[in-house]
Amino acid sequence: MAKKELKPLHLACNLAPSLAQRVFQIREMRNLTVKDLAKMSRFPVGRIEDIESGVETWLSASDRQLLARALSVEPLLLQEVEGRRLDSASADEKLKIQVELAEKIMQGLKEQACPNCGGSLKCSIEHGLNLDGKLEEFAKAFCLKCPFVLRSY
**Is 59 in the same domain as 92?**
no
Q: Please state the rounded mean pLDDT for residues 32-47.
A: 96
Reported residue count of the chain is 153
- Note the pTM of the prediction, 2 decimals: 0.57
Q: Report how far residue 65's alpha carbon sits from residue 100's, in angstroms, rounded to the nearest whole number.
A: 34
Same domain? 90 vs 140: yes
Residue 14 lies in a domain: no
Cross-strand pairs, 38: none
Alpha carbon distance 37, 67 (integer Å): 8
Burial class (CB in 10 A: 0-12, 13-18, 19+), 90: exposed
pLDDT at position 8 is 61
Q: Are 152 and 140 in contact (CB under 8 A)?
A: yes
Instruction: State the residue range of the domain holding 73.
Output: 19-79
What total of structural domains would you count in the chain?
Answer: 2
The verdict on 95 and 139 lying in the same domain is yes
- Considering the domain architecture, whether residues 90 and 110 belong to the same structural domain is answered as yes
* pLDDT over 70 percentage in the chain: 88
Give the Cα separation of 130 and 127 in Å (integer): 10
CA-based nearest residue to 116, from 90, 92, 138, 149: 149
